[in-house]
Amino acid sequence: MGKKENDEIIPDEEQFTVTLDLDDGRKVECNILTILEANGRDYIALLPQTEDEEGEVFLYRYTEGEDGPGLENILDDDEYEAVVDAFDEWLDEQEYDEIVDEEDLEEE
């Protein structure tokens, strides 16, 4: 079974992607890691598939409107820090879930 994201189940075997148009004109294909909430707003964490951006995670404000999903830059430092904290918590939960799953497998 997949992970629950904003009341939707995302299957483990399916990987959703987004193509970003960066300010320098490059296009970067990114995997969607999660959509999370901080301070009452939704944000999205994206992991670039290119080696140029290896190890980086892009965080954006995430909106859904009549025209579909949208991304906005986070310009406020305090807002960005809140999103980073929420993302770190999400990462900790993922690591915990992996440890618990591994322990369950070892017990079988």
Q: Where exactly are the structural domains of the chain?
A: 3-107
Task: Give the model's confidence band at 46: pLDDT under 50 very low, under 70 low, under 90 confident, else very high.
Answer: very high
- Is pLDDT at 9 greater than 50 in this prediction? no
Task: Label residue 14 by pLDDT band (50, 70, 90).
Answer: low
Q: What is the pTM of this model?
A: 0.72
What's the start-to-end Cα distance of the chain, in Å?
A: 18
Name the pairing type of β-strands 41-48 and 58-65.
Answer: antiparallel
> Residue holding tokens 């290119």?
50
Stated length of the chain: 108
* Range among 17-26, 88-97, 99-108 with highest mean pLDDT value: 17-26
**How many angstroms separate the CA atoms of 90 and 4, rounded?**
12
The pLDDT value given to residue 53: 61
